[in-house]
Structures are given as C-alpha cells and as structure tokens.
Amino acid sequence: MAPSPALFQVLAAVLFSIGVMGVLFRRNILVIFMCVELMLNAANLSLIAFAHTLGNVDGQVVVFFALAVAAAEVSVGLAIIIDLFRKKGTVDVEQVSLLKG
C-alpha cells in the first residue's frame, strides 16, 4: 500500500518547520546554516513528491537546480562565516549585533 502523496507533503512540512525552529533559536551560526540546508532539503522533497504525483519531470529539474544553487550558496556562506570569525572572534550571533539601533 503506497503512502498517500499528502503524507510526503506533511513530512516536508515537518522537516521544514524543524528547520525554522533551528534558524530562529540556535546561537551558533554554523548550526543556523545547517538548519537552512535542512529547510532547503525539505522543499526539495516536497517538489519531488509533487513531480511524482503529477507525473511531470519539471519538479525534478527544479530540484536539480536547487541542488546546484545550494552548493554554491554553502560555499559562499561558509566563506562569510570564516571571515566573520576572523573579524569578531566568535560565531555567536547574539554577540554580533552590529545592526542594533
């Protein structure tokens, strides 16, 4: 018995919201970044489930590109984090409140 397609969506939603929680409430910027990846992954899952449901390959193409973009994004993001660590000596976001005001 195949799982109903809706279940995949629910799973994606759950993973996504877990990722949201992590983004909001962790202080270590690397962990935050990882949660972002988690969210992306959840979105990809949702897309592929839809592609399967609708019999369309376009969803998978989108995921393909999303994967590529995620890779690029991670490399640049980590570069920024390293730079931030060099400048501030910390990766605790609560200590980097330069935008305060």
Partner 1 sequence: MLQLFWLIPLLPLFGFLVNGLGLKWMPRKAAGWLACGVVGAAFAIGVGALLAIMGRPVADRAVTQVLFPWIMAGDFHVNIAFMWDPLSAVMTLIVTGVGFLIHVYSLGYMAHDEGFKRYFAYLNLFTFAMLVLVLADNFLLLFVGWEGVGLCSYLLIGFWYTKKSAADAGKKAFIVNRIGDFGVLVAMMLTFWTLGTLTFPDVFHRAQTLLPPGSAVPTAIALLFFLGAAGKSAQIPLYVWLPDAMEGPTPVSALIHAATMVTAGVYLFVRASGMFVLAPQALAVVAVIGALTAIFAATIGLVQTDIKRVLAYSTVSQLGYMFLAVGAGAFVAAIFHLLTHAFFKALLFLGSGSVIEACHHEQDIRKMGGLGAKLPITKNTFIIGSLALAGVPIFAGFFSKDEILYSAFTSQLGGLGKFLWVIGAAAALLTAFYITRLVALTFYGKPRDKHIYDHAHESPRVMTVPLMILAVLSTVGGFLGLPLAEHANVMHNWLGPWVGGHGAEEMEGAGQGATSAAHAAAGHSAGLEVALMAISVALAILGIWAAWRTYVKEPSRAQALATRFAGLYRVLWNKYYIDEIYNAVIVQPVVAGSRILWRVFDVGFIDWIVNGAGRMMRGLAGYLRPFQNGLAGSYAAAIMLGAILIMGYVLLGGWH
Partner 2 sequence: MALVGFLLLAGAAIAGALGVVLQRNALYGALSLVGVFVATAVLYLMLSAPFLAVLQLIVYAGAIMVLFIFVIMLISVRYEESGESAGVPGGTKRYTAMGLAAVLVILFSILSFKMALTPSGTRSLGGITELGLALYQKYMFPFEVASILLLVAIVGALSITRRHGRGLEGNVAMEKEV
CB of 101 to partner 2, least distance (A): 23
Rule CB under 8 A: is residue 62 a binding residue for partner 1?
A: no
Q: What is the DSSP letter of 57?
A: S
Q: Give whichever of 53 and 96 is closer to partner 2, judged by the CB atom.
A: 53
- 28: helix, coil or strand? strand
The half-sphere exposure of 75 on its side-chain side, counting CA atoms within 13 A, is: 5
What does residue 27 show for φ and ψ, rounded to 5 degrees? -100, -20
Nearest to 60 by CA among 40, 46, 74: 46
Site for partner 1 in 21-50 (CB under 8 A): 23-25, 27, 32
Site for partner 2 in 36-65 (CB under 8 A): 37-38, 41, 44-45, 48-49, 51-55, 57-58, 60-61, 63-65
Q: Could you list the residues that contact partner 1 (CB under 8 A)?
A: 20, 23-25, 27, 32, 93-94, 96-101
